[in-house]
Amino acid sequence: MRTTMAQTSSNNGGINQVLVEGTGNVRTFILNRSKQLNALSFQMISQLMELFYASEEDSNVKMIILKGRGRAFCAGGDLSLVFSHQSNWKIGANYFQKQYTLNYVMATYSKPQVSILNGIVMGGGAGVSIHGRFRVATEKSVLPLLKLVH
């Protein structure tokens, strides 16, 4: 198995927020913030976008698998940056624009994508998983049932 790592951002404490494994024509993107239940940070979203763009252009890549490390697929967006800068609305706008752009990239991606929903799937985690052609729930999948009341 050939394993490579996504670029490390200087803002993430030296830990790759997305790991990449590759065998043959399949690339596996692994969300790697298990202590934060793989919540989507700005850096993680940026890395995922770079990886999807690069894989789209790579004719050797025929399929993408997306999964989370640890007990969560993805517990949603990591809004700590947004809340820590409440006086600057542009930070929140930039974060959500980046996240929704990632969702669009994934929804329009030309190659098959499989999301392995092993563990907690909430909010933004549902957002990045739902756009793939295939979603695989396991006995450990935890998905919320949201009910709108008005």
Number of domains comprising the chain: 1
**CATH number of the domain residue 82 falls in:** 3.90.226.10
Q: Give, for 106, the enclosing helix (H) or strand (E).
A: helix 89-107
- Whole-structure pTM value: 0.85
Inside any domain, residue 149: no
Inside any domain, residue 147: no
The predicted structure's pLDDT at residue 145? 67
Q: What tokens were used for 124?
A: 């933004």
Beta-strand pair 26-31/63-68:
parallel
Inside any domain, residue 142: no
**Dihedral (Cα; 140, 39, 31, 139), 10-degree rounding:** 10
Q: What tokens were used for 135?
A: 């979603």
Residues 143, 123: Cα–Cα separation, whole Å: 9
Residue 106 structural domain? 2-137
pLDDT single digits (tens) 81-128: 777 877 888 888 899 999 999 999 999 999 999 999 999 999 899 989
The predicted structure's pLDDT at residue 89? 84
pLDDT single digits (tens) 26-71: 999 999 999 999 999 999 999 999 999 999 999 999 999 999 999 9
Inside any domain, residue 150: no
Inside any domain, residue 95: yes
